[in-house]
Structure 1
């Protein structure tokens, strides 16, 4: 199974947004710059994440994105489904019923056994993704990091994080 590049970009972006301060946002351009990806391509996925209720969007020149809920409440499956959609990765088109020398229809009363096996595998795959939250990923990375990865991210966020106008007004 091959997932699109958008899934990787979305997962990394959501993980990065989990490190923002209260009221902080990052622009799509900043997220794209940090990850070395196309802003327009990433923007499409950020919009999908917003539509799925994973991200909050703040429009305008000082706007950007932040998590709509805690990182502990967002699973890898949530992100994958937001980007790739809910349809199964394997789609059976019943090619077993095509071609020369057709067999009687009674052989096709039950779903294709190949399709059934693929859907069982996808259920397991999705169950595994549903077990892992963005907070879990951050905890795993923190355990492996000697401080270098955190320092890189913190330095970037310190320069690019914006406060939403709502937050800035309440502090001013």
Structure 2
């Protein structure tokens, strides 16, 4: 399965927002500049996160984006669904209805072993994403790269100047 780059951008942005002081909103342009991303496209991802209640936005000269809830209450699945939508990765088109001996009254989405196997895999993937939070990621990064929180804060401070 391939997700759009917007998922990666959204996850990194949410993670970066966890290291900033509570209540500090960051403009989309500054969030985009942090990684050299196109601001208009990142803003589209931020708007999707805002519609999902993951970030909130404030307008005005001190406006921007911040997490709308604690990082321990934002799962990786929340972010993926906000950006990619809630649809399953595999869509069964009931190909078996076109095969020999097909029964037009059967819902092959339920009886097809290919469809069931793909649905199980999708559910396992979603369970794994739902079990990890942005706070979990933050803790992993802080363990592996202890300088990251300070570097992130300093980089945003430099971008504001």
Q: TM-score, structure 1 length as denominator?
A: 0.84
After TM superposition, give the deviation of residue 40 of structure 1 in Å: 1.1
- The aligned counterpart of 2:63 is 63
After TM superposition, give the deviation of residue 109 of structure 1 in Å: 4.3
Cα RMSD (Å) of the superposition?
2.0
After TM superposition, give the deviation of residue 89 of structure 1 in Å: 1.0
- Partners of 2:56 and 2:128 lie apart in 1 by 26
Contact 1:26 1:160 (C-alpha < 8 Å) held by counterparts:
no
Encode CA deviations 1:106-127: one digit per residue, 9 max, x unaligned: 6944422211111111111111
How many residues align? The count is: 159
- Partners of 2:138 and 2:37 lie apart in 1 by 21
Contact 1:14 1:67 (C-alpha < 8 Å) held by counterparts:
yes
- The aligned counterpart of 2:152 is 153
- The aligned counterpart of 2:142 is 142
- Equivalent residue of 2:91, what SS? coil
- Partners of 1:97 and 1:106 lie apart in 2 by 6
Encode CA deviations 1:145-167: one digit per residue, 9 max, x unaligned: 142x3332121122346xxxxxx
- Partners of 2:146 and 2:55 lie apart in 1 by 29
- Partners of 1:7 and 1:46 lie apart in 2 by 11
**Radius of gyration: which is bigger?**
1
- Equivalent residue of 2:65, what SS? strand
- Partners of 2:102 and 2:92 lie apart in 1 by 19
- Partners of 1:84 and 1:50 lie apart in 2 by 14
Encode CA deviations 1:21-73: one digit per residue, 9 max, x unaligned: 12201111111111221111111110010000110111233310000111111
- The aligned counterpart of 1:75 is 75
- The aligned counterpart of 2:102 is 104
Contact 2:78 2:130 (C-alpha < 8 Å) held by counterparts:
yes
- Partners of 2:138 and 2:105 lie apart in 1 by 50
Structure 2: segments with no counterpart, 5+ residues: none
Q: TM-score, structure 2 length as denominator?
A: 0.90
Matches within 5 A, 1:1-172: 1-98=1-98, 102-105=100-103, 108-110=106-108, 111=110, 112-147=112-147, 149-160=148-159
Give the number of the structure with larger relative contact order, counting CA–CA contacts within 8 Å between residues 6 or more apart: 1
- Partners of 2:157 and 2:104 lie apart in 1 by 66
